[in-house]
Amino acid sequence: MLWLGLVLAHLWLGMLGLYAPGNPLGDVGFVYRFWMEHGQTTGQWVGIDTVWVYPIVAIVPMLAATTLGLDLYVSTWLSLMMLINAAAFAVLLALGARTGGARRVAPVAWWWIGFLVLLGPVALGRIDTVTVAVALAGVVVLAVAPRAAGVLLTLAAWIKVWPAAIVAAIVLVDRSRIRVAVAAAATTAVVLAVALAAGAGGTVFSFITEQTGRGLQIEAISATAWMWDAFLHPSGASAVYYDTSILTFQLRGDGVADAAAVATPLLAAAVALLLILAAVAMRRGAVSGELLPVLALAITTALIVFNKVGSPQFVSWLAVPIVWGLVAAIRGDGPSFRVPAVLAFLIAVLTQAIYPFLYDELVSLNVVPLVILTARNLLYLVLFVWAVWTLAGLVAGARSARADATAADTAGWSS
């Protein structure tokens, strides 16, 4: 039933991607396909011969989708995404069978299927699909195969950057940190060696600089106030415009440029503070198995909340820490993840309502999609607060447990 559910979910999402309004597979059918066609016809490849917005390994699944020809690029992409998700699904079920029975992990597998359906066609229509599947497999196998986890998470980060923060969290607090760090370093060395052998120079790191010039995207959490200002004052300073270089809708207005400029430093500071909080928890005796899924959720949500980009596919990232937390809770290694699981469902369904179905109305600043977007962004904040609050609770609990242990040792010494 689980495998049938996964296949039916992908068929449904594929149909929506092909026929829903707003062309939700536009990035695949136009942008990804164009990059690959340009490379095949001119010999100039993005990320190798020219700068690119993505890390270099992202070219692998995009190129794999040309296997049956450019005319079948979109359908091949959808089939490839189903296979990649199926591989991660198999890892999840196999681990469940190894750590207490497949039936215990079945609700987690059903949660992921439901999450994909609620998120809609964007769950398959972006390169993030590959990143999520690879990273999800990485965190699931961490407890039994840390080297494999390091390889998978690092490969995911070389497709899209955000899993690098999870690697940093593992290296900071997990007892298998050395094996993960060595595997991550070796994987990075191999990726760089292959890229350099293919002719890449400094372009292999161009994804870092290519993102710095972006403005404030209309769906970003920090953009919400300016979206309402543009709605309430149609002839005012705040307005939506289409950036032809980034190919996305952004905002202009008083203070928008400043908000976009401080977004990345704030994001980096938030991640650094979360890592420091986790380090304090470990020094006070916290258990890494309990700490890591919560920390991963806090970091992943921070990467969305403080981001000047608010693309709908970012929601898919939440599957990685939430599946990790749900599996850990089954093993009795951490707090219940029912609250973030429900919040992620709500965030996903509101995101699908906006994209693809109401996106044109959102760009036109109609009130219904604007209210939905605001509610979605508020739920992001609630999820972030839950993660930080739970993380702080683990710090406090570790401190209390350490104090109790110290008191017991003192009493035993005195007696």
| Widest CA span in the chain | 83
What does pTM read for this prediction? 0.94
Alpha-carbon distances of 198 from 65, 194, 390, 400, 410, rounded to whole Å: 20, 6, 46, 55, 63
Taking the CA atoms of the chain, what radius of gyration do you get in angstroms? Answer: 22
Per-residue pLDDT of the chain (415 residues; tens, 9 = 90+): 999 999 999 999 999 999 999 899 999 999 999 999 999 999 999 999 999 999 999 999 999 999 999 999 999 999 999 999 999 999 999 986 665 555 689 999 999 999 999 999 999 999 999 999 999 999 999 989 999 999 999 999 999 999 999 999 999 999 899 999 999 999 999 999 999 999 998 899 998 887 777 899 999 999 999 999 999 999 888 999 998 877 899 999 999 999 999 999 999 999 999 999 999 888 888 888 899 999 999 999 999 999 999 999 999 999 999 999 999 998 888 899 999 999 999 999 999 999 999 999 999 999 999 999 999 999 999 999 999 999 999 888 655 545 444 444 444 444 4
Helices (H), 20-101: 26, 33-42, 59-64, 73-98
pLDDT of residue 98: 66
Query: Residue 128: what residue type?
Result: D
pLDDT in tens, 100-133: 555 689 999 999 999 999 999 999 999 999 999 9
pLDDT at 286: 83
Query: Looking at this protein, which amino acid is placed at residue 296?
Result: A
* Local structure of 243: helix, strand or coil: strand
CA distance 165 to 267: 11
CA distances from 289 to 165, 295, 329, 331, 351 (A): 17, 10, 10, 10, 31
Residue 325 burial by Cβ neighbours in a 10 Å radius (0-12, 13-18, 19+): buried
